Structure 1
Amino acid sequence: MRGYQLFEAVLVTVCTLVSPVCCHNVSSEETTLNSTAADFDSFRAKFQRIYEVSGDEYNRRRLFYQNATKRHMYLNSFSTGPQSAKYGINQFSDLSQKEFRDLYLRAIYDRTPLFSGLSLKQLPAKFDWRDKAVVAPVQNQQSCGSCWAFSVVGAIQSVQAIGGSQLEQLSVQQIVDCSYQNEGCDGGSTTRALKWLKQTSVKLVTQSEYPYKAKTGICHFFSQSHGGVVIKNFTAHDFSGQEEAMMGQLVEHGPLAAIVDAVSWQDYLGGIIQHHCSSKWSNHAVLVVGYDTTGEIPYWIVQNSWGTRWGNEGYVYIKIGGNICGIADSAAAVFL
């Protein structure tokens, strides 16, 4: 974790030297607020925080909120280019950085082999699986470190729909409870979950049959005759330095389950992330559903699992090239 600790140390040092500021001209619902008591109370009302004004919890959360506004000045100081990401107040602004990591960044990065296959020729300049109605709506993992399961399920249900089946939300809770090589809400690996699904031929049932509870439970087994989706195989590769090949994999096989460094995403409001993210220190799992290279800054289109009030209605855009946020460190494609 030395690389991450260095980033955090620099961030804390800089933030202690600056005064709170707001970022401007952000067309997101999560608009930046001042760090006054009145604005903190507005934040509490907006995000339905129930801690009492006179209590210690209120003072702790207000301090974290004030610290967040200092972070935003540092993060936004790099965002001077076209379509740059903006950082400000959102639903995570009253969490300390440690709390945020412990609650939401629980994915385990397993090293994958470098991609050595052929790249697709004549890729489209822009491609988005949402345009083909095969990407399910953004979900919310809540206070459960289950991003790894949401990423895997997102890929599976999209590939099933690409194959001609009706798009339906499959059970994340089934993988959280039953993938014994992972730790449920305490974290997990996308590749381990995919290996478990492949080796056991477990039938993934619908979310309505096995609903999400945002906590680890006892695995519920279904009979062999019960319907469900079985994966036949998957591939997981490191596309570092080969993001064009990764684009080809997405076009050819469907949305990709990827692992990223999302430390700075605590404060993300919108725009294209071009800084503040490392590679090889991945801690969060997401679903890459498309890309766009038609503008000045090419970017990946990435579905997150923190609800639609976060980022770009639940999505984040990451610059293509340079392995920003480690987006190419490990990307998995599913085969049914």
Structure 2
Amino acid sequence: MTIVTNLNPNEKLLNENENSELQRKTWKQRVNGILILLQIALIGLMIILVVFNVYSEFTYQPETVSPDVVRIKGLFNEFVQKYGKKYDSPREKLRRFNIFYSNVLSYEEEERKNPELDLDVTEFADRTDEELKMILLAYENDSILEGTYPRKSENYQPIPNRPENHNWNEQGKVTAVKNQQQCGSCWAFATVAAVESGLAIKNGTLLSLSEQEMVDCDRSNNGCHGGVRAYAMRFVQKNGLVPEQTYPYTAEEDAQCHLKKDKNDSRIFINNYELLGKSEDQIADWVYSKGPVTFGMNVTRFLYYYRNGIFTPDPKDCTQNSLGSHAMTLVGYGKDANTGNLFWVVKNSWGQYWGENGFFKLARNVNACGMANNVVAAIL
């Protein structure tokens, strides 16, 4: 038996409205579900991209793969381990590898042009030229010294029969090579090295003296931002230098000088200082007869990668492509037995891992990168 119920118009309209509302809610739930699924998919895609990016950074290969890339990556890994390099992120490590890769290819090309010169990976190999400039000085201005410090060139008499080779380091009159680090204090290191050797030659005492004292206390100079060696000599003459262990090096400039007022605290003083003539023969005579002297030269980028050999910078690199000026100490001179080429023995302040245990040979009698322009000697 079928029962037919007749709905009045109002009841029919109410049912239709209820069905329509139910359909809207169902559709809304479906849309929300789809949006949630899209969000989950988007998050998953982002995670995949991040993982791929990190993986790519660890497995980077240059776009144009060089036959040397595996070798240079090996050098980079050795470099990181030897110098204890730490990078903030995989991206930074990749950036440093790119710089390292470019620097290695660059100095290897320079080696091919100069077979007698040996360049190699040093602690500077992952740095840009701009970063390398940070430990250099502004270019030396001859006029700063010319008017105030007359050159010791008048009445100069050459030393007859001066030996072809002389090295104060081999005679035990030079302290161990130090490292100025990321402080532009080469002017202090060069000055201290000359005074240390002068003291050893005079009385046989090989004593490491304080560079940090001059960085903090020599107000005529600019601490980690450069200085003038003649001003540094004047400071030593007036204030003296304390031992390194009394005032140790921090590679930072302290606004406060921590030097005691009492000058009876084992300080070493110099009697005077001289600005030598520009003749390299005269400079060699002084080094042979009196001891090491300070000098400054314009620096080319390949000096940072020096390992051994006679460094003979291109004159164009010394002027147009120089990164800045650097102060060091001449501790000897010599003549190459095979080639007959003359050289200086230079003590640097870039640590004992650099060069020949911190020293290098610089071409002599060619005024390499202006090295003979401002040679300042201490007189003890």
- Whether contact under 8 Å (1:107, 1:145) holds in the other structure is no
- Whether contact under 8 Å (2:153, 2:277) holds in the other structure is no
Matched AA of 2:133: R
- Whether contact under 8 Å (1:155, 1:256) holds in the other structure is yes
CA distance in 2, matches of 1:285, 1:43: 27
1:233 aligns to what?
272
Q: Gaps spanning 5+ residues in structure 2: where?
A: 1-63
CA distance in 2, matches of 1:19, 1:249: 53
1:70-149 alignment, distance < 5 Å = 70-80=105-115, 84-102=116-134, 104-106=135-137, 109-111=140-142, 112-113=145-146, 116-117=153-154, 118=156, 119-149=158-188
2:243 aligns to what?
206
Shift of residue 238 of structure 1?
Answer: 4.6
**TM-score of the superposition, structure 1-length normalised?**
0.82
2:370 is aligned, of 285, 303, 326, to: 326
CA distance in 2, matches of 1:311, 1:21: 28
1:291 aligns to what?
333
Deviates more, 1:119-128 or 1:208-217: 119-128
Q: 1:125/1:50 Cα in 2 relative to 1: closer, same or farther (>3 Å)?
A: same
Matched AA of 1:106: L
Matched AA of 1:260: M
1:194 is aligned, of 229, 233, 255, to: 233
- String of CA shifts for 1:218-270, please: whole Å, max 9, x gaps: 2113213333111121012351xx21111001112210111012233122121
- Whether contact under 8 Å (2:117, 2:308) holds in the other structure is yes
1:29 aligns to what?
none
Shift of residue 318 of structure 1?
Answer: 0.7
Q: 1:167/1:291 Cα in 2 relative to 1: closer, same or farther (>3 Å)?
A: same
1:302-321 alignment, distance < 5 Å = 302-321=346-365
Matched AA of 2:331: V
Shift of residue 47 of structure 1?
Answer: 1.6
1:250 aligns to what?
287
1:58-69 alignment, distance < 5 Å = 58-69=93-104
Task: Indicate yes or no: 2:86 matched with 1:50.
Answer: yes
Deviates more, 1:89-98 or 1:258-267: 258-267
CA distance in 2, matches of 1:211, 1:318: 30
CA distance in 1, matches of 2:288, 2:319: 23
**TM-score of the superposition, structure 2-length normalised?**
0.73
Q: 1:159/1:88 Cα in 2 relative to 1: closer, same or farther (>3 Å)?
A: same
2:313 is aligned, of 275, 278, 301, to: 275
Runs (4+) of structure 1 exceeding 3 A deviation are: 18-22, 112-115, 279-282
1:4 aligns to what?
none
Shift of residue 110 of structure 1?
Answer: 3.9
| SS of match in other structure, 2:72 | coil
Matched AA of 2:332: G
Structure scoring higher RCO (CA < 8 A, sep ≥ 6) equals: 1
Q: 1:21/1:254 Cα in 2 relative to 1: closer, same or farther (>3 Å)?
A: farther
CA distance in 2, matches of 1:191, 1:60: 40
Matched AA of 1:255: P
CA distance in 2, matches of 1:152, 1:21: 46
| SS of match in other structure, 2:220 | coil
CA distance in 1, matches of 2:243, 2:105: 43
CA distance in 2, matches of 1:176, 1:134: 24
Shift of residue 120 of structure 1?
Answer: 2.1
- Whether contact under 8 Å (2:152, 2:274) holds in the other structure is no
Matched AA of 1:299: F
1:158 is aligned, of 182, 197, 221, to: 197
- String of CA shifts for 1:274-293, please: whole Å, max 9, x gaps: 23352797610111100112
Q: 1:251/1:21 Cα in 2 relative to 1: closer, same or farther (>3 Å)?
A: farther
CA distance in 2, matches of 1:21, 1:246: 47
- Whether contact under 8 Å (2:239, 2:263) holds in the other structure is no
Query: What is the number of equivalent residue pairs in this alignment?
Result: 300
CA distance in 2, matches of 1:192, 1:52: 40
1:10 aligns to what?
none
| SS of match in other structure, 2:283 | helix
CA distance in 2, matches of 1:131, 1:232: 26
Q: Gaps spanning 5+ residues in structure 1: where?
A: 1-17, 23-32
Matched AA of 1:116: S
CA distance in 1, matches of 2:170, 2:127: 35
Identity %, equivalent residues: 27
Q: CA RMSD in A?
A: 2.5
Shift of residue 52 of structure 1?
Answer: 5.2
CA distance in 2, matches of 1:121, 1:109: 32
1:185 is aligned, of 220, 224, 227, to: 224
Shift of residue 77 of structure 1?
Answer: 3.1
Shift of residue 43 of structure 1?
Answer: 2.0
Task: Indicate yes or no: 2:221 matched with 1:170.
Answer: no
| SS of match in other structure, 2:361 | strand
Matched AA of 2:363: K
Q: 1:65/1:167 Cα in 2 relative to 1: closer, same or farther (>3 Å)?
A: same
CA distance in 2, matches of 1:236, 1:21: 52
Q: Which structure has the bigger radius of gyration? A: 2
1:27-42 alignment, distance < 5 Å = 34-36=71-73, 38-42=74-78
